[in-house]
Copies of this chain bind each other. A is one copy, B any other.
Amino acid sequence: MRSPLTLGVDIGGTFIKLGLVQESRILLQESLPSASFPHPKALQDGMVEAIRSLIHESDRSIGAVGIGIPGLVRYPQGMVHSCVNLRGWRHVPLRRLLSRRLRLPVWVDNDVNVMTLAEWKYGAGQGAKNLVCLTLGTGVGGGLVLEGQLYRGKQGSAGELGHIPLSEKGPRCSCGGMACLERYVGNREILQFVRQRLSKGVKSQIPRLIDHNLARLTPEVIDRACELGDRLAQETWEWVGTRIGLALTGVVNLLNPDRIVVGGGISKAGHWLLDPMRQTVRRRAMQGLKAVAIVPAALGSSAGLIGAALLARQEPGR
């Protein structure tokens, strides 16, 4: 028997990706620019239209729709309380609204939760009973699989690794807290770290790589400089990895997980970033727990789509 087909939607700040998915294979995919949908109603209309046309195009029937959205989602109700990168998303009962219009079961969860599901089932987290998934980008997020189940916590907000405080005092965070991990290792902060060092006259090949235009600095440029043996670039990932390792030390001592999967943009830095994370955890976490595997994510930018479709497949009919 063919495993059932579901439709996944990965709502991001830049693109809305939709795809027909069978297990971890994306059979048919579409992408819409998020900016074309200035408010939740417009985005819903756009999704309904795109979903119908994908189903029509494929000429197959689908069992359910799963959606990952970057915000605070009450699960399983599918009520979106707030959304990080999209305007106007306050208390939108997305699941109810869409399932009514599509006449299909719809499931809605936080985007990092569905990515975690995907990495756990098909990616670098396969076989782990207790898994921590960390996503690095402009924001720093996380998801938890505990005792073989996605763990959501009371309000569905569990896994906020980016908001573990690293010290008593430190920079204010958009979450209302202070000295959160994200305030040190979010993309903006990493670029700021490099710019500051450069402005202090630290020697580096980075300026040459971006024609001395610091506005063109990206994490990928830092990666390229690393490979060229640039000391500042390497130190940057060391600094970032050490800070992530500090937060993970607390997570490891608290949750004693089997494995930690690291994904998101800057995880492309590979061992330059992962090694200092591993070293910090090995140096600081408790005896017996410190051997936890820290591995790169395997599914890349498809994790959100695959995970959203997986969510829909895992859930009962309605």
Contact = CB atoms under 8 A, between A and B. Distances in A.
A130 B154 contact: yes
Contact of A254 (B149, B161, B166): B161
B164 A289 contact: no
Q: Which of the four size classes fits the interface of chain A?
A: 35 or more
Contacts of A292: 154
B246 A165 contact: yes
A177 interface: yes
Contact of A72 (B142, B255, B288): B288
Contact of A253 (B160, B243, B257): B160
Interface stretch (A5-13, A46-54, A224-232, A279-287): A279-287
B153 A257 contact: yes
27 contacts: A81-B288, A129-B154, A130-B154, A146-B151, A151-B255, A155-B288, A155-B289, A157-B286, A158-B254, A159-B254, A161-B254, A163-B285, A164-B249, A164-B250, A165-B249, A165-B284, A167-B168, A168-B246, A175-B253, A175-B287, A176-B284, A177-B249, A177-B253, A177-B284, A177-B286, A247-B250, A254-B255
Interface of A: 72, 81, 129-130, 142, 144, 146-147, 149, 151-161, 163-168, 175-178, 242-243, 246-247, 249-251, 253-258, 284-289, 292
